[in-house]
Amino acid sequence: MPFIKPEYELNENQPSSKSGLHRELVARIKLAEKSKSLHFSSLNLDYIPSEVFDLTKIIRLDLSYNNLVKISEGIGALSNLTQLWLNDNPLREIPVAVSNCKKLKELDLKNTFIISLPKELAECKHLTYLNLDNCPLDDKLGETYGAGIDSMHTEFQKKNTRKHFKEDLFKSLAEWKYPSEDKKAVFDCVQEIFKAIKKSGIESKIVMKALCRNFQILFPVKLDEVDSELICQKLDQLQNEYIERQGGDTKVTFDEDTIG
């Protein structure tokens, strides 16, 4: 990333406010309380002052061209945010808490070191502008990003939906099927099952709902006897039975929402 010359070089010798913040930052925060827009661009910041997260009514936050490596989970408190500019920072990741900014429409992350994004961004249903240009994205995200914002929303939704089904299955198995087993062993079992489902090519909401609803009959009495391939076969059978009841339409997508 090229060196960015700060627009405003904060002077360490200039007296700070009672809060400990540089007076220039305090002035901008006070202005943002009225304008609902906070511009902290090009200030050579390496962290976001906690006072920023008290501005719960702001709709625009510009933190571009700084030295931010990490964004605090406090960003989730800005529930009215519609525009968030984080571009041109040595940023490594985006916190899950960004998903609490459900009104977010624009998210600029270009020229950062972002590799992946949290699946919880599926909660930001109004997001219509996402800039990841010149980011070292992983192959899957890079491919999806290249296909456009609609593809990004679809992928976020898939991952988020998968996460919720995993949580539901883990809770059911840990509390009702294998309550005396080590929780980590149950968690590892759930991970293996979902990997097997994805690998088998039968992943859909139909299959995952069937898995969570029928866990008592799909899973054996003992945890160490769980056979992920056998469970996939049973799930495939349930899906085929559903297809037959729908008149034989064999085109089942991830977004299919009901079963029997």
- Read off the tokens for 187: 């968690």
Q: Any idea of the CA torsion for 73, 77, 83, 89, to the nearest 10 degrees?
A: -20
Confidence band, pLDDT 50/70/90 cuts, at residue 68: very high
**Residues 41, 8: contact at Cβ < 8 Å?**
no
Per the confidence metrics, is the pTM higher than 0.85? no
Mean pLDDT of the chain: 88
Alpha carbon distance 228, 210 (integer Å): 15
Confidence band, pLDDT 50/70/90 cuts, at residue 5: very low
Q: What is the pLDDT of residue 247?
A: 72
User: Which sign does the torsion angle of CA 132, 133, 135, 137 carry?
Assistant: positive
Range 213-240 average pLDDT: 94
pLDDT tens by residue, 183-192: 999 999 999 9
- Read off the tokens for 207: 């299959």
Judged against a pLDDT cut of 90, whether residue 85 lies above it is answered with yes
> Among 59-63, 71-75, 197-201, which is the least confidently predicted range?
197-201
Alpha carbon distance 3, 6 (integer Å): 9
pLDDT tens by residue, 230-259: 999 999 998 888 888 877 655 445 454 433
Domains and CATH numbers, the chain: 23-146 (3.80.10.10), 157-245 (no CATH)
pLDDT tens by residue, 154-205: 999 999 999 999 999 999 999 999 999 999 999 999 999 999 999 998 888 8
